[in-house]
Amino acid sequence: MEKFQIEGGYKLNGSIRISGAKNAALPILMSTLLVDGVSTISNVPHLNDVTTTLALLGTLGSSTTITDKLEVQIDATNIHSYKAPYDLVKTMRASILVLGPLLGRFGKADVSLPGGCAIGSRPVDLHLKGMQTLGAEIDVNDGYIRARTKDGLKGAKILMDTVSVGATENILMAAILAKGITTIENAAREPEVVDLAQCLIAMGANISGAGTDVITIQGVDKLQSASYKVQPDRIETGTYLVAAAITRGKVLLKDTNPELLEAVILKLRETGAEIKTGVDWIELDMKGNRPKAVSIKTAPYPGFPTDMQAQFTALNSIASGTSTIKENIFENRFMHINEMQRMGANISIDGNTAICVGVKTLKSAQVMATDLRASASLVLTGLVAEGSTIVDRIYHIDRGYDCIEEKLHALGAKLKRVS
């Protein structure tokens, strides 16, 4: 199993380009199932989850071409299967997002219950209730969701019990070809939902309200071929900003969007970082200073993102002062803390709150990643720990970070992949 070996103590400095957003690219790729034709998607990151998604689409009958401009062309004209098998779905929770497009266009779908990161309970109930409200008959047996419609989906009013990005996206895609008007109340407002909606609009969908808590969809008869560029990855951006802050360095991140990161940038400024922004770039400079501790509370967008909690926990572990980190989204997302404690971090957990007393130095150790963002946080602690840190089970990080070694090398980090 591959690992990262990281030599700590090097200050990051330089510039890199940010890739397309994984959490936007996956639903956008799934949405191509709604088009009887060819969709061209650009700025798609090179990630294991993207490879899995393209393999899943291929299993259903889509054909994929990578152009010389590194665009992904997906032809969903000849879909011949409506089953998302366990061997593909087990590694990636986003696989459930084929449910809405398959139901919406073909009226049937068999989707294995999904896998993914072990960060707590993320039930599919909201997805299934939404499909049922649109008129689907749902049966869950032998680990598979079996969904059918007799006469196609019908527009409906859907009130989400809790805010869910994935359920919002799945219901949104299902409603595009439904007859009549669908409203999704208490919808997720995340930028990735907006990106999906804008892609669907480019394909001919009639959607209003994306980015607010009420999304309205007027069903259309069909979608047409379109080209769309995936937005920059705000979590990748935030991770490299924290990497610069934790190492007291200076970085320039290109091809990103600071408007998507207001909560993260605000907290980084509290650490003492000097941050400058432009339309598509962010520069962070710590001026060589040790960061100050900052307290955070995760919340749905536009609040502080849960996907940045582990990285800020790493930052707080070596920051000056005491901080509290409150995780309000997932109940099992502190597994990285045990590994940080092995490196000398002074962190205690009380329910969904971590109390962190910053220490001046961390010591290298062999640590194990438990999920995608936890793996990133352990790489960050390795960047500042004394000695050589080994991060095991890095297949997690390959699911969400495009060319992480090359980008960290470009900034002056010392790490390598070992077996």
pLDDT tens string for the chain (419 positions)? 899 999 999 999 999 999 999 999 999 999 999 999 999 999 999 998 999 999 999 999 999 999 888 899 999 999 999 999 988 888 787 889 999 999 999 999 999 987 543 434 456 899 999 999 999 999 998 889 999 999 999 999 999 999 999 999 999 999 999 999 999 999 999 999 999 999 999 999 999 999 999 999 999 999 999 999 999 999 999 999 999 999 999 999 999 999 999 999 999 999 999 999 999 999 999 999 999 999 999 999 999 999 999 999 999 999 999 999 999 987 777 989 999 999 999 999 999 999 999 999 999 999 998 888 889 999 999 999 999 999 999 988 988 899 999 999 999 999 999 98
Residue 117 is among the residues annotated as catalytic for this protein: yes
pLDDT of residue 238: 98
**What is the predicted pLDDT for the residue at 372?**
82
Full-model pTM: 0.95
Please choose, from the candidates 212, 339, 341, 347, the residue with its C-alpha nearest in 3D space to the C-alpha of residue 293: 347
pLDDT of residue 94: 85
Number of residues in the chain: 419
Q: SS3 letters for 191-255? A: HHHHHHHHHHHHCCCEEECECECEEEEECCCCECCCEEECCECHHHHHHHHHHHHHCCCEEEEEC
Contacting residues for 56 by C-beta, under 8 A, at least 6 apart: 84, 88, 89, 95, 98
| Catalytic member of 117, 199, 356, 403 | 117
In angstroms, the CA 301 to CA 298 distance is: 9
Q: Which of 64, 66, 108, 120 is nearest to 83 (CA)?
A: 108
Q: Note the pLDDT of residue 90.
A: 82
CA angle 242, 419, 1 (to 5 degrees): 85
Query: What is the residue type of 279?
Result: V
How far is it, in rounded angstroms, from Cα 169 to Cα 93? 13
| Residues whose CB falls within 8 Å of the CB of residue 389, separated by 6 or more in sequence, listed in order | 4, 5, 6, 8, 343, 364, 365, 366, 367, 378, 381, 382
Residue 297 one-letter amino acid? K
- Strands in 108-112's sheet, in edge-to-edge order, are 83-84, 108-112, 144-148, 137-141
Contact yes or no for 332/120 (Cβ under 8 A): yes
Nearest to 209 by CA among 173, 177, 230, 184: 184
The per-residue pLDDT for 355 is 98
pLDDT of residue 136: 98
Q: For residue 145, what pLDDT is reported? A: 93
* Token code pair at residue 69: 């401009």
- Per-residue pLDDT, 116: 43
Distance, CA of 413 to CA of 296 (rounded, Å): 27
SS3 (DSSP) at 66: strand
- Looking at residue 115, what is its pLDDT? 55
